């Protein structure tokens, strides 16, 4: 572990590249959070309201959380394959369209990934390889998610 940290401290390009890569991956996850969390909260509030009002519960639907169902096209419902889900690169390769039905994919997705990647790189360069950097990255990711929050 000390060797890895020392390598990161002595190789700035590697450190910055890893920060960018980590940020792109986190940005991809933030897209899921930004889209799904409001829906999850709304479903939960609805369930609580029905319970409070002593109304009959609605029938259970398929699980909907940050992990399930797997990502799919919003227009045709085709599951997105892992190689079609690479941050920014897949958007460019697919030319911003679904691989199956060619419907456009919102520019917001690669934008969130890119902003997160660049922000993580900036934060990491400012703070260096310290424990504080992890907390600053957590704050940065949270702020980006709140910025793009849709409801």
Binding site for Zn ion (CB under 5 A): 73, 75-76, 98, 100-101
Least Å distance, CB 141 to Zn ion, is 28
Q: Pick between residue 100 and residue 129 the one whose CB is nearest to Zn ion.
A: 100
Helix (H, G, I), strand (E, B) or coil at 72: strand
Long-range contacts, stretch 76-83, CB < 8 angstroms, 24+ apart: 76/100, 76/101, 76/103
Q: What is the DSSP string of 74-130?
A: TTT-PBPPGGG-STTHHHHHTTTB-TTT-PBPPTHHHHHHHHHHHHHHHHHHHH-SS
Least Å distance, CB 110 to Zn ion, is 17
Least Å distance, CB 124 to Zn ion, is 36
Q: Pick between residue 26 and residue 73 the one whose CB is nearest to Zn ion.
A: 73
Omega prior to 85 cis, within 30 of 0 = no
Q: Pick between residue 101 and residue 106 the one whose CB is nearest to Zn ion.
A: 101
Least Å distance, CB 102 to Zn ion, is 7
Q: Pick between residue 17 and residue 77 the one whose CB is nearest to Zn ion.
A: 77
């Amino acid at each position: 572990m000390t060797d890895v940290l020392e390598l990161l401290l002595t190789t700035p390009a590697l450190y910055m590249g890893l920060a960018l890569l980590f940020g792109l991956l986190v940005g991809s996850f933030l897209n899921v959070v930004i889209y799904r969390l409001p829906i999850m909260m709304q479903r939960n509030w609805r369930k609580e309201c029905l319970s409070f009002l002593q109304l009959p519960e609605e029938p259970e639907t398929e699980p909907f959380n940050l992990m399930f169902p797997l990502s799919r096209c919003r227009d045709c419902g085709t599951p997105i394959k892992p190689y079609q889900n690479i941050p920014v690169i897949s958007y460019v390769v697919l030319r911003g369209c679904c691989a199956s039905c060619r419907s456009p994919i919102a520019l917001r997705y690669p934008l969130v990934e890119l902003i997160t990647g660049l922000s993580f790189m900036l934060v990491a360069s400012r703070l260096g390889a310290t424990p504080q950097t992890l907390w600053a990255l957590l704050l940065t990711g949270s702020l980006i998610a709140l910025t793009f929050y849709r409801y």
